[in-house]
Amino acid sequence: MCFCVFVGCVFTTTIAQNCQFSFNGKISDFHDNSPIIGASIQIEGENKFATTDFDGFFEFQNICAGKYTLILNHVACETKRVRFNITENTFKEISLEHHIEDLEEVIVTSTNKTTSNTVQSTKIDRKTIDDFSGESLGDALKNISGVSSLNTGNTIVKPIINGLHSSRIIVMANGVRLQDQDWGIEHAPNIDINNADRITVIKGTNSLEYGGDAIGGVIVLEPTKYFLKDRIYGKTILGLQSNGKGGNLHTNIVKTTEKGWFYNGKATLKRFGDFHSPNYNLTNTGLNSKAFSLLTGVKKFEKGFTVDYSFINNKIGIFRASHIGNIDDLVTAINSKQPQIIENFNYDIVSPKQEIKHHIFKVDYYQRFKNSGKLEVQYDFQKNERFEFDVRVGDDKNKAAIDLNLKTHAVSANFNFDSNSNKTYKVGFKGVYQNNFANPETGVRRLIPDYDKFDAGFFAIGNFILNLKTTFNAGLRYDFNYINAKKFYIKTRWIERGYDTQFNDLIIGDFNTQWLVNPTFRFHNLSASAGIHHYFNDKTAVLFNYGLSSRAPNASELFSDGLHHSAARIELGNLAMQQEVSHRVSATYAYKTSKTKISIEAFFNTIQNFIYLAPFGTEQTIRGAFPVWNYKKTNANLFGFDFTWQQKLNETFSYSNKSSLIYGYETKNKRDLIDIPAPNFRNSLQYKNENWHQLGVRLESEFVLQQNNFPDNNFLTFLPSQKTIAIVDISSTPKSYHLLNLQTDVVFHLSKKTDLHISATISNLLNINYRDYLNRIRFFADDLGRNYALQLKINY
């Protein structure tokens, strides 16, 4: 039981320059008004620290005019933040009761200071999330330099962090690690972006509490913060778009009580028909998405709990002309400037399509112990149902070709020893049981087999504030994975893979043309991280870190086996796959003044047994020849730079630049890596008029160069229809492109508690034709044409 209340006295004196104010205060306990000794006070974003003396007093010297947030830490007290505005020669005495709303204080559902500033991380705020309300997580994350996306059309958007994607990225949604068959290139995270209040992207492996296998990085969707006040409030967003002739509707209603209870319901609907490129309709690219979540709990200082359920149902059309038969069709599609199938606009979503249902149920509990720290325990359950519908004939026309049901139970516990804010430690455990069931009713051989998987992980992280300027962080994690699968192999494939010499002891059944085999795998993974953050002065800081991470191969990399119809390719996994081991070093230089903010991030990532999917040759079948894509392993190096520059030009205009360069190659074969994002540059010029309804106008330029560093996987094939031998060009990359986007927004205060935000956006302003290297439909069609979007948002 500890309520920290402090009385702060601010004295400001103008002495010649703006940066010579001093800032004094006193902290006392509200119970008996006795001074609190040894509390640490930090000015957020500055390298200024102070500690209260025996009378509870603290002092800061040489403070510039401006807005500040103080962060107050004391043994067994919740970290507190208070805002001050130092503008003129004033005296303020602030007397604070324990009601935290007077402080504009909030209790954050999950505070994690342990890895705070020694990692390369970037945050996306609520406003940006609202702007992307009608789009996907992957689209919003592209606002971060170094984050790009791997698309299948424009509704399936997989984030790429520093060139890495899929199982190398952990997505944390409200404290739950998303388990949604993230291995597939055409499997996007099944998440409603509107559920997040803030999104943090952590590049690289240095966030061990989430997992040891995040070679690419971690995307943390943070939940809403609740004020301890008797309030009901909410928000509704309506978006309309010309391209796709559809829109989105999102509503969020929150009730909170002074006693700490909160109730939150959210619902989102999205509906789009066929999107279009500048010259033609993109047939069957519609989207129908429904999502809702319900959440309740208690947040008090010493303890609290949350019960959370969320559900999303996505029906996603796959571009009709990207569904092809064999290599002839692929060559025809590549050589044709236009898609082979163009139909009139339609809202119907027909085969090929995906339908995904994802449920997350979570219950968590925390308790704080005096003089030691905070214990958190959590259980979560996820159910992911994935149906992929192929273009089929006869009785099977409406039957899914892929029908997977993935269930995951996870239990975790961790303890944060934070009684000494200069030395905090966090230790934790996580256990996961996962079961995948591939429904045989599809009548199509399973691409991913039935399996059970057990994971157990332990971690310990320490955060050390060495002095006022330097913070050091180190962590260690061990994970054990056990996979037990039962899979059918066509006997000829078993021989072709060479498994008959290595794995014949796995065979447990003979089914005419197929073997039933029972492979089991055990992987021991070690991960570690270390980082140091140092302020040279109040403007300049540097950060260095190192991360070791190990990732066990996923189900797709081990077991894939068969014709992936919609991709017109045979995809083959490998039972002999080993785990990937990555060493990543990175450095950040940050410069920040009131007008200028610059961040330069550099990284080098060397990965042993890097697993990737690449074309391998062709196999002749009765349907014609098909390209074979093999999962292969190699040693890979990736390095790159991410650059962010924000500059206030004057009171109304500001400029920003976000650029990233990345290079990836195989060390063994001296070849470029496949699917590495091309150099890209985002420049924007913004006008903001705070005096007239916060009018904002932003012109953004998005310039993506042609990727010249790509591996040549082209091969020759005989085309019976053309009677010639032709090169199948599946490697060449699309040309550079430049897009302009224009956005404008205004805010109207309708009443004391009600705001109306209106924004209008035109994307691809010049309606140019372009194709993107990392969009799988680039072989078949141009990307999206001009789009007019209107969004109304009411906060009430």
Partner 1 sequence: MKTIKHIFALVAFTIFAVACSKDDPIVVNQEEVITTLTLTLTPESGNIITLRSYDLDGSDGPNPPVISISGSLAANTTYTGFVEVLNETESPAEDVTIEVIDEGEEHQFFYTFTNSIGTVAYTDTDNNENPIGVTFTLTTAASGSGDLTVTLIHEPAKSAADVKSGSITNAGGETDVEATFSLTVQ
Q: Which residues bind partner 1 (CB under 8 A)?
A: 323-326, 328-329, 332, 340-341, 363, 365, 367, 375, 377, 379, 381, 391-394, 396, 407, 409, 411, 431, 433, 435, 438, 440, 442-446, 449-450, 452, 454, 486-488, 490-493, 496, 508-509, 511-514, 516, 561-563, 570, 619-624, 626, 718, 720-723
CB contact at 8 A, 750 and 756: yes
Closer residue to partner 1 (CB): 710 or 779: 779
Decide whether 341 or 746 has the Cβ nearer to partner 1.
Answer: 341
User: Minimum CB separation from partner 1 for residue 761, in Å?
Assistant: 36
The length of the chain is 796
Minimum CB separation of residue 718 from partner 1 in Å reads: 8
Q: What three-state secondary structure class fits 196?
A: coil
Strand partners, 550: 581
Give whichever of 14 and 435 is closer to partner 1, judged by the CB atom. 435
**Smaller CB separation from partner 1, 74 or 392:** 392
Closer to partner 1 by CB, 516 or 747: give it: 516
State the minimum distance, in angstroms, from the CB of residue 400 to partner 1. 13
Per DSSP, the three-state class of 431 is strand
Which lies closer to partner 1 via its Cβ, residue 192 or residue 450? 450
Beta bridge partners of 83: 69
Q: Which sign, positive or negative, has the C-alpha torsion 766, 768, 770, 776?
A: positive
Nearby residues of 698 by Cβ (< 8 Å), 6 or more positions away: 684, 685, 686, 687, 742, 743, 744
Structure tokens at 735: 């040309």
Helix (H) or strand (E) holding 87: none
- Distance in angstroms between the alpha carbons of the first and the last residue of the chain: 34
Enumerate the β-bridge partners of residue 251: 236, 267
Cα radius of gyration rounded to whole Å, the chain: 28
Q: How far apart are CA 430 and CA 410, in angstroms?
A: 7
CB of 485 to partner 1, least distance (A): 10
For partner 1, the closer of residues 430 and 551 by Cβ is: 430
Q: How far, rounded to the nearest angstrom, does the alpha carbon of residue 618 sit from its chain's CA centroid? A: 35
Tell me how far, at minimum, the Cβ of 503 lies from partner 1, in Å: 16
Whole-number Cα distances in Å, 661 to 476, 675, 677, 685: 30, 14, 8, 22
Least distance from partner 1 to the Cβ atom of residue 177, Å: 16
Please state the closest distance from residue 373 (CB atom) to partner 1, in A: 15
- DSSP-derived letter for residue 300 is -
Give the separation between CA 730 and CA 25, rounded to whole angstroms: 67
- Strands 217-222, 169-173: pairing is parallel
Shortest separation between residue 328's beta carbon and partner 1, angstroms: 6
Q: Which is nearer to partner 1, 366 or 535 (CB)?
A: 366
Retrieve residue 31's tokens.
Answer: 């119970």
To the nearest whole angstrom, how small is the minimum distance from the Cβ of residue 45 to partner 1? 37
Contacts of 753 (CB under 8 A, 6+ apart): 233, 796
- Report in angstroms how near the CB of residue 624 gets to partner 1 at its nearest: 4
How many CB atoms sit inside 10 A of residue 47's CB?
18
Q: Which is nearer to partner 1, 26 or 409 (CB)?
A: 409
- Of residues 288 and 560, the one with the C-beta less far from partner 1: 560
Q: Which is nearer to partner 1, 1 or 622 (CB)?
A: 622
Number of H helices, E strands in the chain: 6, 46
How far apart are alpha carbons 245 and 752 in whole angstroms?
A: 35
Give the shortest CB-225-to-partner 1 separation in angstroms: 24
